[in-house]
Amino acid sequence: MTQALLPFEAPPRRGGNTTTFVDNMRLPVHRWFRYSAGFSAQWARAVLADSGARRVLDPFGGSGTTVIAAEQSSVSGMGVDVHPFVSRIAKAKLAWRADPDILLERARAVTLEVQRARRVEGPSSPLIAKCFPDTAALEELLRVRDAVETLRAGDAYDELLWLAFVSIIRACSPAGTAQWQYVLPNKTKSRVLEPRAAFESRVRLFADDMWAMQDHLAAPGGQVFEADARTLDGVSDGWADLILTSPPYANNFDYADATRLEQSFLGEINGWGDLGPLRKMLLKSATQHMGRWDPAEALDSPLVEPIRQELFEVYSRLADVKRAKAGNKAYDLMIAGYFFDSAQVWHALRRASAPGVKVCYVVGDSAPYGVHVPVERWLGDLAVAAGFKTWNFEKVRDRNTKWKNRKHDHPLHEGRLWIEG
């Protein structure tokens, strides 16, 4: 199946490094927030075209790449993410159908309010103090935040202005950012933006993208909402004929910590300690998500039956290394929790998908403490146990092949787990 290209688009990409968000920074709407955990929208469009799907579900929808790619491909899209901040980004992007002239007018009111306002109440978070040593710049950024909040009118433009604000926070700080989204306050970057100008230019970019998209797309809009992939509440039985997603990897990346700077700035949290409730909601994929969780819940569960023996062996080896390292990282719990949660996701996906569904899961394997975990094989076996028919793995690239700074030397890879049935 071929699709018409929008005039500003490169053709859908089938091969190559499709597991990265970088290319999306040139694409309208996708580029409104740099969510490094995202995957390539052009590749998502190629999968949509090749599959001939009519209804695509992304159970780990993140910043909305799949749903927006679906809108651009005239496919019904539904994305869920349990992280409220990330889900709000995706919802705001879906407002690209709003009127760009009204957005610009509303943004002008925000800048006038920024100039008028004087005193601002800053968050007391130590992270903010570290990331914004220049108090004048910090104050101006806070005035943008407050003006956006004060001028809320209860409509889609509120969300677009909110996104314009949250998407400039990092660019206005001299602090470095890691390849992923953690903040490195002790590193600096060379180009730092001035808050009001950055906000205005962001809104102009949004408006330009909205005009471009609206000129060429008339397809009905997709849906995004907050939900847990382990239950998929709100998704009707048998809805999806394609599932296209990238779950958290079992690699200790903490999605709660990834947005700590933005959430601190919004006053939603005051520091690391406030991330607890969010961590409890996430699929277990980092040691910080484990708390006092009892691994027996996973190891004794019928849900992990097809991999129980191997899972137990890996769990025990990780527990041994942890003991030898005197109470270091709880990778044993993390791996048990990851596959227990993933088994629940497969059951939820089975319920929410039609017979004959095609699933593309972009995933990588992992080797905590050098103990290799055959992620794709275990996920494939759990999917079949949940009622899907077949799985196969298509490797896309090697990871961690440079051993420098690595605590282990196990080669890892990343690719697509294709499941059918």
Ligand X SMILES: C[S@@+](CC[C@H](N)C(=O)[O-])C[C@H]1O[C@@H](n2cnc3c(N)ncnc32)[C@H](O)[C@@H]1O
Contacting residues toward ligand X, per CB under 6 A? 35, 37-39, 60, 62-63, 65, 80-83, 86, 228-230, 246-248, 255, 282-283
Q: How far is the CB of 290 from ligand X (least distance, A)?
A: 14
Q: Which helix (H) or strand (E) holds 4?
A: none
Site of tokens 């397809």 = 219
Closest to ligand X by CB, 132 vs 339, is 339
Nearest Cα residue to 82 out of 233, 264, 252, 243: 233
Three-class secondary structure of residue 232 per DSSP: coil
The one-letter amino acid code at 24 reads N
Closest to ligand X by CB, 114 vs 229, is 229
Contacts of residue 125, Cβ cutoff 8 Å, sequence gap at least 6: 264, 269, 270, 271
Closest to ligand X by CB, 233 vs 313, is 233
Q: What single-letter DSSP state applies at residue 365?
A: -
Closest to ligand X by CB, 142 vs 304, is 304
Closest to ligand X by CB, 60 vs 315, is 60
Closest to ligand X by CB, 81 vs 241, is 81
Closest to ligand X by CB, 143 vs 416, is 416
Q: How far is the CB of 285 from ligand X (least distance, A)?
A: 7
Closest to ligand X by CB, 65 vs 73, is 65
Nearest Cα residue to 162 out of 226, 225, 110, 214: 110
Tokens (6 digits) for 414: 């990343």
User: Are 334 and 284 a contacting pair, CB within 8 Å?
Assistant: yes
Closest to ligand X by CB, 82 vs 110, is 82
Q: How far is the CB of 81 from ligand X (least distance, A)?
A: 4
Q: Where are the alpha helices (DSSP H) in 282-374?
A: 296-299, 308-324, 331-352
Q: Which residues of 116-143 are buried (b: 16+ CB within 10 A; e: fewer)?
A: ebeeeebbebebbeebbeeeebbbbbbb
Alpha carbons 102 and 154: distance in angstroms, whole number: 14
* 3-state DSSP percent of the chain in helix, strand and coil, to 5: 50, 15, 35
Q: How far is the CB of 248 from ligand X (least distance, A)?
A: 5
Q: How far is the CB of 120 from ligand X (least distance, A)?
A: 30
Q: How far is the CB of 284 from ligand X (least distance, A)?
A: 9
Q: How far is the CB of 362 from ligand X (least distance, A)?
A: 8
E strand intervals along 6-58 = 55-58
For 14, 271, 343, 350, 387, the CA distances from 230, given in Å and listed in that order, are 29, 28, 8, 11, 15
Cβ count near 10 (within 10 Å): 10
Alpha carbons 177 and 365: distance in angstroms, whole number: 25
User: Are 249 and 243 a contacting pair, CB within 8 Å?
Assistant: no
Question: 262 φ, ψ to 5°?
Answer: -65, -45
Q: How far is the CB of 41 from ligand X (least distance, A)?
A: 8
Closest to ligand X by CB, 255 vs 393, is 255
Q: How far is the CB of 310 from ligand X (least distance, A)?
A: 24
Three-class secondary structure of residue 134 per DSSP: coil
Closest to ligand X by CB, 55 vs 83, is 83
Q: How far is the CB of 38 from ligand X (least distance, A)?
A: 3
Instruction: Name residue 419's beta-bridge partners.
Output: 359, 391
Alpha carbons 334 and 90: distance in angstroms, whole number: 28
Q: How far is the CB of 66 from ligand X (least distance, A)?
A: 6
